[in-house]
A and B are shown apart, each in its own frame.
Chain A
Amino acid sequence: MSSKRPKSKEARKSKGKDKSNETNPTPDGGALESGHPDYIFPLVLTSATQELFGCRADEDVTGENPYKLLKKEDIIKDMKTRASVSDFSPVKQLVLDYPEDELLLVFDRDFTYGQSFYLVLTVEAKENILKPSVEGDEEQMKEEEVEEEEMIIPKTPVSHPWISLGSEQEIEEESVTESRPRLRYKISPLLRHCGAPVCFSDRSALDEKEGFVECPSYQDKSFSIREMEKHTAIQASCDTKHSSTQTLWKYPKNMWTQYEPREFSPEEKEHHLRSEHLKNFITSVLIRFEISLQQNYITDVFCDDWTALCEDDGMLAGKTETQLKEYQTFMDLHFSKEKTISHVHWHPTISGVIAVAMTERLSLEERIDNSTKLLLNPSYILFWNFTDPINPQLQLECPDDVLCFQFCPSDPNIIAGGCMNGQVVLWDISAHVERLQDTRSSSKNISNKLDKNNVTPVVRYCAVSGIENGHKAPITDIQWLPETFELSKLGIPVENPSRISVQLVTCAPDCSVLFWDLRPPRVVSHSLTDVKQKSEEKPLENPHGVPNTFKHLNLTWKPFIRVSLPKIGSSGEYSPLKFSLRDNTVDSPTGDKPPQNTDREEGCGFAQLRVPSAKQQKPLENISTKLYVGTEEGELVYTDWKMEKDNDSGRLLSTKPIHRFPLHDTLVNTVSRSPFFKDIILTVGSSSFAIWKEGVTNGPILMSAFSKKMLTVGHWSLSRPAVFFIGKEDGSIEVWDLLQNTHEPSQSQNISSAGITCIRTSSISSKQHLLAVSDCLGTLHILQIPWTLRRSSNSEKQIVRKYLEKEEERLEYFEKRQIKHEKEKKEMEAEQQRKKTEPVLPLKQEEELEAEALKKYEQFLALEKDILKNMGLLNGMEDSSDM
């Protein structure tokens, strides 16, 4: 027991912060169970004693606070007073021996030592009891705190003595220790050898057999050491695995779905319309809508007034330059002498290139006189490039003077021209296109140019039409049909699958308009003739370096439709000079265009195209087949090119023209459609011009005043719908702006001294619009169009349209007035007639009238009487009437 005591004390002391509840604050905790230590003396205290000492059970001292310090003197006093009756009598001696003044009395609630109280007899024990309790309290408090905080306090490691588990044996086995003391040997030579002279010499190990001892390694068959340990490295890696799947597709299957939108039945709609919710929603939302709708009505929030304002202003007083500025002039020294330019055309794709047709400046008689000389001097079409004002880039050789030519719209390398002798000529310049493009870019390299371009290449024509089949008069106008449709034999427009322009229209004063097809005509009989043709074609060479594009047409070409223009109302025919087709666009049903390869050899293209049979062709409905023709007599004829079959003879005849307008007194030199309005046409005669609208048959919408100088040519502006240019005989250009003045040109400017022969506009870029003007002397002037003339305002088209409509209305009104006038005139005449035949009637009528008047007067008098009577004024009236 005594050994336990210190242990428990030590244990208590050593455990500083112990969370466990083992250290019970009750003194001597659970360590002691039976008996009591020497310093503890259990006591029974009577209630009197308890009251006396102030340690009543459960009152002064409790289970939680069992300690009570009693004074020694008091105990001694009590013992003296009550002698043997005192409860303290058994401890009398002990108390007296107690060194200190105060003794500890502990209330033993649990009767640990058998009694309800016990006295602690030694000072040490007292201290211990009090302190551990305090400590225990502290510990308890700490524990409580710790428990409250729920913190884990790390245990500081406590050193334990090492417990052997058998590992030291292995270490002992491995370690190397000396098993016996080391042996020491000392070897020394005999004394007599010491100090004797010694001679050292070298000896090679290889000299003698026994020079060295070798221990080579050998394969020991009986080697049986088992490798116990082995160094290996292991790395974990995943398996890779290849796998693939393929969906099975047994057979292709067409699938389609069709859907239609969901809709409500009328009953459901009714149901919804009746719902309360809808009503609430709509009524609540109404205000919002009204506000927004009115907002839009009041003002357009998104309109940028600033920009709109500046546009209008710009037209009036913006830039000051209004004149056409001279940009460049082209005149060729070799070829332009005594020649005039008949036609000018800008290259449609290459900017800065313009083609000019040069013709002889001779009248008909002079031509006949000099015909031989003319044959030796062929005429040309020259290509000019802005980069080189002196040398033309390209020359196209013509069989005769070309009066008009056009680039093919689908392929700018094909040029068709009409000659003086009635032939249609075709050129293919695809071989020289790079030249035209190159020189534009390498304008800085002058040295290069001098080397290469001393000689302008001459391109000979690919094909000419047969003279018998073509026109019998000089061809004055030629145009390509657009690539969207082509014409059948009867002139019915049909779909063009190849999407390249293959047909031309020409007109000449021999009273016919001819339609030409570029493709080889249908060959009815195959095999033999085909084979022959093929074999014949091969050995044919190109003597002049002419491409084979139109070999199939050369000299055998003939038109497939011949439209004649019989006069309305009289016999004879109109002789067309210029014509204008309606610009028809067709929506392609398939929606895709075949790719236009510029590399594709056009030769194969055209030769391989065949005129499709009439059955295959699908007629198109939206194409207008009517055209306007300006004639030599100054009339504008509106006709249809469709051919009709004459029932009697079975031949194809052209229909009679629909309208004719005799307006100009001399020949019409321009019939041109406005690029903005498809049905507005400008015709220029010698002394006046007129604007017509297709469909309006009363007359021209606008007719200009007669001018003093002859007008030679007219041309619409490409950028402004209200502007067109008129060229005059004295070399000046008039700019007419419909929005400003219609009675006089807005501007007039003199360009050259000779008469203008052709005007063409082109837009190189948005900032630069050029006007090409050619004159009688063979000079080509390029002028820059100023800003005012090229910039159109947003609403200009609308304004012009409104103006034209107004003019149309004016014409109609005029007509109506005319009719009305005539009617009135007739009526007046009829009345006069009537008046003449019945002179007696007026007299009779007068008599009747007088009688009627009298009657009325009497009626009036009676009425007056009645009224006065009613009003009570009759008396006075009677008196006055009597008088």
Chain B
Amino acid sequence: MLIVLQLYFSFHSNDRQTEEAPVLSDMAEVEDTLKRIQGINGVIGTIVVNAEGIPIKTTLDNSTTVQYAGLLHQLTMKARSTVRDIDPQNDLTFLRIRSKKHEIMVSTDKEYLLIVIQNPAE
């Protein structure tokens, strides 16, 4: 298995959005965004994981989700500690793992992890 880690060091600006009162719209927005990602060509599944590696939302079946969440959480922690060891001011933002069959993308945050698995169309 061919794995290539591409670490992106970049700053991202938070979208400033006006807070609308009901909480439901937040949830709907989250759902919308996830649907949008899922709808992109080639995407096999998306998983939202919390800081401890417990999946919150997923489009795959339970066992696969749990496996992905656990493994990628550990890998992300390791990658993040690597980045920070090299430069304590830096932090990991995006992790891409390319294998023979799929590409796994992980985006990290203080509290959450978003995992997307894509089948790059050949």
Mask, A163-179, CB within 8 Å of B = 1, is 00000000000000000
B92 within 8 Å of A by Cβ?
Answer: no
Once the chains are docked, how many angstroms separate the CA of A698 from the CA of B48?
51
A598 within 8 Å of B by Cβ?
Answer: no
Partner of B118, one of A264, A273, A279, A293: A293
Least CB distance from B12 to A in Å reads 6
Partner of B37, one of A261, A269, A275, A290: A290
Q: Label chain B's interface by main secondary structure.
A: mixed
B41 within 8 Å of A by Cβ?
Answer: yes
A227 within 8 Å of B by Cβ?
Answer: no
A281-B13 CB under 8 A given contacts A263-B55, A272-B50, A273-B30: no
Mask, A283-305, CB within 8 Å of B = 1, is 11111111011101100101100
B15 within 8 Å of A by Cβ?
Answer: yes
Once the chains are docked, how many angstroms separate the CA of A278 from the CA of B109?
9
Which residues on B sit within 8 Å (CB–CB) of A292?
A: 94, 96, 103, 105
A277 within 8 Å of B by Cβ?
Answer: yes
A280-B52 CB under 8 A given contacts A293-B118, A297-B42, A302-B4: no
Least CB distance from A274 to B in Å reads 5
Once the chains are docked, how many angstroms separate the CA of A270 from the CA of B30?
11
A289 touches B105 (CB 8 A): yes
Which residues on A sit within 8 Å (CB–CB) of B43?
A: 293
Least CB distance from B40 to A in Å reads 5
A262 within 8 Å of B by Cβ?
Answer: yes
A285 touches B66 (CB 8 A): no
Which residues on B sit within 8 Å (CB–CB) of A274?
A: 23-24, 26-27
A282 within 8 Å of B by Cβ?
Answer: yes
B87 within 8 Å of A by Cβ?
Answer: no
Contact residues on A (Cβ < 8 Å of other chain), bracket = 20 to 34
B83 within 8 Å of A by Cβ?
Answer: no
Mask, A248-278, CB within 8 Å of B = 1, is 0000000000000111100001101111111
A282-B48 CB under 8 A given contacts A264-B54, A289-B114: yes
B66 touches A280 (CB 8 A): no
Partner of A281, one of B2, B40, B111: B111
Least CB distance from B101 to A in Å reads 12
Once the chains are docked, how many angstroms separate the CA of A278 from the CA of B2?
32
Least CB distance from B105 to A in Å reads 6
The chain B residue with its CB closest to the CB of A283 is B15
Once the chains are docked, how many angstroms separate the CA of A527 from the CA of B93?
79
CB proximity to A under 8 Å, residues B60-87:
62, 66, 69-70
A273 touches B111 (CB 8 A): no
The chain B residue with its CB closest to the CB of A260 is B66
B17 within 8 Å of A by Cβ?
Answer: yes
B121 within 8 Å of A by Cβ?
Answer: yes
The chain B residue with its CB closest to the CB of A263 is B54
A283 touches B17 (CB 8 A): yes
A289 touches B42 (CB 8 A): no
Least CB distance from A511 to B in Å reads 50
CB proximity to A under 8 Å, residues B6-60:
8, 12-15, 17, 19, 23-24, 26-27, 29-31, 33-34, 36-37, 40-43, 48, 50, 52-57
Q: Which of B17, B40, B52 has the most CB of A within 10 A?
A: B40
A262-B111 CB under 8 A given contacts A296-B120, A302-B4: no
Once the chains are docked, how many angstroms separate the CA of A139 from the CA of B109?
71
Which residues on A sit within 8 Å (CB–CB) of B109?
A: 277, 281, 285
B116 touches A277 (CB 8 A): no
Which residues on B sit within 8 Å (CB–CB) of A275?
A: 26
Once the chains are docked, how many angstroms separate the CA of A290 from the CA of B38?
10
A277 touches B111 (CB 8 A): yes
Q: Label chain A's interface by main secondary structure.
A: helix
Which residues on B sit within 8 Å (CB–CB) of A278?
A: 30, 48, 56, 111-112
B112 touches A281 (CB 8 A): yes
Tally of B interface residues using CB under 8 Å: 52
B15 touches A284 (CB 8 A): yes
Least CB distance from B1 to A in Å reads 13
B56 touches A293 (CB 8 A): no
The chain A residue with its CB closest to the CB of B16 is A280
Once the chains are docked, how many angstroms separate the CA of A273 from the CA of B30?
7
Once the chains are docked, how many angstroms separate the CA of A279 from the CA of B109?
12
Which residues on B sit within 8 Å (CB–CB) of A283?
A: 15, 17, 29, 33
Once the chains are docked, how many angstroms separate the CA of A284 from the CA of B4?
25
A286-B17 CB under 8 A given contacts A269-B56, A273-B27: no
Least CB distance from B23 to A in Å reads 5
B120 touches A280 (CB 8 A): no
Partner of B66, one of A261, A272, A284: A261
Which residues on A sit within 8 Å (CB–CB) of B55?
A: 263-264
Which residues on B sit within 8 Å (CB–CB) of A280?
A: 14-15
Once the chains are docked, how many angstroms separate the CA of A292 from the CA of B111?
22
A296-B103 CB under 8 A given contacts A273-B30, A274-B23, A281-B109: yes
Once the chains are docked, how many angstroms separate the CA of A262 from the CA of B118?
25
The chain A residue with its CB closest to the CB of B19 is A276
Which residues on A sit within 8 Å (CB–CB) of B114?
A: 281-282, 285, 289
The chain B residue with its CB closest to the CB of A261 is B66
Which residues on A sit within 8 Å (CB–CB) of B69?
A: 261
The chain B residue with its CB closest to the CB of A280 is B14
B12 touches A285 (CB 8 A): yes
Partner of A297, one of B53, B54, B121: B121
A279 touches B42 (CB 8 A): no
A284-B13 CB under 8 A given contacts A279-B30, A289-B105, A302-B4: yes
Once the chains are docked, how many angstroms separate the CA of A276 from the CA of B15?
12
B33 touches A286 (CB 8 A): yes
Which residues on B sit within 8 Å (CB–CB) of A285?
A: 12, 107, 109, 114
Which residues on B sit within 8 Å (CB–CB) of A297?
A: 40-42, 120-121
Partner of A261, one of B12, B40, B70: B70
Least CB distance from A745 to B in Å reads 34
Least CB distance from B74 to A in Å reads 13
Least CB distance from B111 to A in Å reads 6
Once the chains are docked, how many angstroms separate the CA of A283 from the CA of B66?
24
Once the chains are docked, how many angstroms separate the CA of A622 from the CA of B38?
38
Once the chains are docked, how many angstroms separate the CA of A277 from the CA of B24?
14
Which residues on A sit within 8 Å (CB–CB) of B111?
A: 277-278, 281
Once the chains are docked, how many angstroms separate the CA of A340 from the CA of B81?
74
Which residues on A sit within 8 Å (CB–CB) of B42?
A: 293, 296-297
Once the chains are docked, how many angstroms separate the CA of A331 from the CA of B113?
73
Using a CB–CB cutoff of 8 Å, the interface residues on chain A facing chain B are 261-264, 269-270, 272-290, 292-294, 296-297, 300, 302-303
CB<8 Å pairs between A and B, sample of 21: A262-B53, A264-B50, A264-B56, A269-B56, A269-B57, A270-B27, A273-B27, A275-B26, A277-B112, A279-B26, A279-B29, A281-B112, A285-B107, A289-B37, A290-B37, A292-B105, A293-B42, A293-B105, A293-B118, A297-B41, A297-B120
9 nearest A-B pairs in the assembled complex, by CB-CB distance: A296-B120, A261-B66, A285-B107, A281-B109, A272-B56, A293-B40, A279-B26, A274-B23, A282-B33
Q: Contacts A264-B56, A270-B27 given; 10 further ones with Cβ under 8 A?
A: A273-B48, A280-B14, A281-B114, A282-B112, A283-B17, A285-B109, A288-B107, A292-B105, A293-B105, A296-B42
